[in-house]
Amino acid sequence: MPICWPYTLFYLSIHIVVFFVINKRLVAGRLYIPNKNLTNQTVIVTGAASGIGRVTALELAKQQARVIVGIRGQERAEHVAQQLSKESHGNVIGYHLDLSDLASVKVFAEKIDKVDILINNAGVNKKHKELTNDGLESTFGTNHIGHFYLTQLLLPLLIQSNGRIVNVSSIMHILANENIDFSKTNAYNTMLVYAESKLANILHIVELQRRYGGRGIKTYSLHPGFIRSTELTRERTLLQAILMILFAISSKTIAQGAITTLYCALSDEAQPGKYHSNCRVAQPSLTAYNSKKAQELWELTSHSKQSFDEVIKFRCYFDIKEENIDNKGNFTLPFVLRCLDLLLVQGSNVRASDTQLLDLKI
């Protein structure tokens, strides 16, 4: 019996359309429509210039919150804030925030007088190894350490308001080694380093809840879904580009990707200390809920945090250039000694142990 190609193509087309419609509905996940009056509440969203961060800020401004967006470049931050204010008919303020620059994080935090919800949304995924201004590996330094420092600086205000802290993580965290040692450095692999930083986001939330849950703080981590069009995908490798094409069939829109963030920020159904996906609690990797690993990461980062202000002071006196960094990515000993010597002369309370920051994830 001969094949009737017009009818075959027609039925094939129908099946493809139906498949895509059903698939997109399943990918969209559980629907959550924010409907809260956030008058007199202040929300901070990092990385809100585009992508799910921008949508998150816009929706919160529509709920009458005072939204502060942290974006690199003061002029750019103000421009985005003006656009969001106009679109939402709300109150959005833009401040410069570069999470790869600890001095910038501190200046940003000093401008905040009140915060009810902190959404640590910003993220980077560097194709090649780069160092931040403070000598830290850029992806981990931005995604985890920058947000950790910001959160610590704002904790007194968050405790005062019984606030929420939301870390935007990723399902990519499952690629991190289950026996990961955050104090050690391995050969640079862009996907692995990103995965480790996203695992750190979850562990940060777990330990925050354990330490401060009794003081009114509520913390949440989440996977927003696979978002094809975000700033995060600007620096992708060939393998990542191929994977993006394959995963495009299961990708969410930017608006759909922001829904779980809004759910964690606003819903009473979201569970503190837990990892969420598609507006419900999800199961992360076993390491993500490892309390010992969470405490180890906290102590490592917290101990280093004591040195953050001193490292910022280093940069006030020295321009950190290539010659001040050895072939392993560490600050050279002469450079560190010069910095410590100058700081001691200036009356700083620097301790020799403070230099341990220079070994963290470099």
Positions annotated as catalytic residues are 194
Gap between the Cα atoms of 22 and 137, Å rounded: 42
d(CA 123, CA 233): 10
- The answer to whether 49 touches 25, Cβ cutoff 8 Å, is no
Cα–Cα distance measured from residue 148 to residue 165, given in angstroms and rounded to the nearest whole number: 11
Residue 268's identity, in one-letter code, is D
The span from the CA of 173 to the CA of 144, in Å, is 13
Give the residue from 159, 171, 75 showing the smallest Cα distance to 115.
159
CB 44 within 8 A of CB 117: yes
What are 337's two structure tokens? 């000694």
| One-letter identity of residue 338 | R
Contacts of 125 (CB under 8 A, 6+ apart): 139, 190, 194, 232, 233, 235, 236
Q: Name the DSSP class of 143.
A: I
Task: Say if CB 191 and CB 240 are below 8 A apart.
Answer: yes
Q: Which two tokens stand for residue 29?
A: 């996940």
Strands 42-46 and 66-71: parallel
